[in-house]
Structure 1
């Protein structure tokens, strides 16, 4: 019976990448966080560090309480030099606010920077790396209503909404439009005030980013995002942040488990794989799921109308010239 247990244990740690390559996974405790949260603290020997309004309880790391204008975070002290990895994040978002009266959300990060407060779910703007956001409040909808603007996007988003963004230090997260211009993709995830557990799964293997969620209480992963050609450098930091504004929620991190993925690569694949120094996404325009929702600016509309009128005028002139030559030629034939 012992050999059966060994075989099952080995099989449990072997899985397959989306492209069919066999790989093994190993839990990396130095990058993981779970009860009783002994690895969090201000000392240099701890693996994780709290920031802002975050605090540790017996059941969770509470990033923000259900109070206005709070932001908190927990960041890894150790840079991650793994080439292929996956994260399973167990979290909970809950509060007294009703539908659309809660906010603002939380984020899971793999970035060059760490421990910096900011407006992007409690982290700095113009970040360098990967951000996966659980956005619980539709800022864009309210912003457009305030400005008396109306439009119908090609694809409506239902909040709460999970989305991903890769930044290179020069791209800003558009808060008023809920990240539409820089979004790689995402999915709706009804995660607030649930009695069952909620999870996010993030896998980065062979430069492919896959995100899945388990928020329905069925213990099944649901596809959210799958993007090839994502290039993330090694040596960045993992973190989880949250923020509240005029509206609020409790944002709780219950556990974060990081697994190292050992993927079999051919010698040719090893030689062709170049070192990544700046985060990027191949053919990034292909993954923009939304058009410019606000349409053209007034300047663009002006020039479009101007050039259309000039084109029409030119067409009329050419038509008159051609007609004049045709009439002259016909008149000569008659005489």
Structure 2
């Protein structure tokens, strides 16, 4: 009976040593307060510390940032004041597109571009942009065989014009139909995940809560190293409310270098996040130390009992 116990203890000890010796390859995150927005959105001086807004944008501090109201010929925008310089990042935001009537338009856009806070004809922002634009197009102009709302990505080079007459067909890098996105009965959310020069993915939630649908994935995407995060919307003869409710941005990093080089987190303003990271690291170290010690103690105790029994059996 003692030999199986001793073997189990020693096996557990070896397994624990193997686990503790492995590199932690999980992707970790640090909140990017400079690119996040939550209610009430504004500081005491009725401005946002990290974002600028303009055009027809209105802010209701307890509910939403409304880029356009359900009225014709409106444009509104919201852009970060500082560039998004993290190497790898994730931006998840909650939004709502809704209005009265069966006919509606035109849509909204998310930007990670060198340009910022510049009104224009592309969903309320400038044309010939440099960087990434993602368009939530709710009105079909001329794209046979495509179901709307349609979500698509375009990589701008600073010279190319958005193909507005054909709903961006000539510019499309990737896209997906999202029927039910407008006026959904659950909170509508989008999540962008970017690993520099490796991949960009867009996931959507609009069918059921916590049910994320992969819209598209773009390999080997390279976004300008200095680019601003922004949102904009536009209405024409047809209109809709385009609301931003919450933005959560994170810096992603890996300490193991599982995907090549080890990526360290970008500097984050403020002390609380850094202190939390250090505290979490020490707690995990002590937890592993305690577990390792417990396994060693169990193995040593089992071994003593086994030796004692062997000596007693001789007599």
**Pair in the same fold by TM > 0.5:** yes
Can you give the 5+ residue segments of structure 2 that lack an aligned partner in the other structure? 1-23, 263-315
SS of match in other structure, 2:27: strand
Q: Structure 1 residues 228, 261: CA separation in 2 closer, same or farther (over 3 Å shift)?
A: same
- Pairs within 5 Å for 1:307-322: none
Residue among 111, 114, 133 paired with 1:109: 111
SS of match in other structure, 1:181: helix
Residue among 156, 168, 171 paired with 1:179: 168
Moved segments of 4+, more than 3 Å: 39-43, 264-271
What are the Cα deviations for residues 179-226 of structure 1, in whole angstroms up to 9, with x where unaligned?
Answer: 111111111112222232001111111421101100102421101111
Contact 1:105–1:135, Cα closer than 8 Å, also in 2: yes
- Pairs within 5 Å for 1:151-166: 156-166=145-155
Instruction: Tell me how far apart the structure 2 counterparts of residues 39 and 111 of structure 1 sit (CA, whole Å).
Output: 25
Contact 1:121–1:243, Cα closer than 8 Å, also in 2: yes
TM-score (structure 1 length as normaliser) = 0.66
Measured after TM superposition, the shift of residue 40 of structure 1 is 9.6
- Pairs within 5 Å for 1:205-244: 205-207=195-197, 208-244=199-235
Measured after TM superposition, the shift of residue 168 of structure 1 is 1.2
TM-score (structure 2 length as normaliser) = 0.71
Residue among 99, 110, 132 paired with 1:130: 132
Can you give the 5+ residue segments of structure 1 that lack an aligned partner in the other structure? 1-19, 142-152, 272-335
Instruction: Tell me how far apart the structure 1 counterparts of residues 117 and 191 of structure 2 sit (CA, whole Å).
Output: 23
Aligned residue number for residue 73 of structure 1: 77
SS of match in other structure, 2:77: strand
- Whether 2:203 is the aligned partner of 1:199: answer no
Instruction: Tell me how far apart the structure 1 counterparts of residues 67 and 259 of structure 2 sit (CA, whole Å).
Output: 45
What count of residue pairs does the alignment treat as equivalent?
236
Instruction: Tell me how far apart the structure 2 counterparts of residues 124 and 133 of structure 1 sit (CA, whole Å).
Output: 13
Instruction: Tell me how far apart the structure 2 counterparts of residues 260 and 160 of structure 1 sit (CA, whole Å).
Output: 30
Aligned residue number for residue 49 of structure 1: 52
Aligned residue number for residue 251 of structure 1: 242
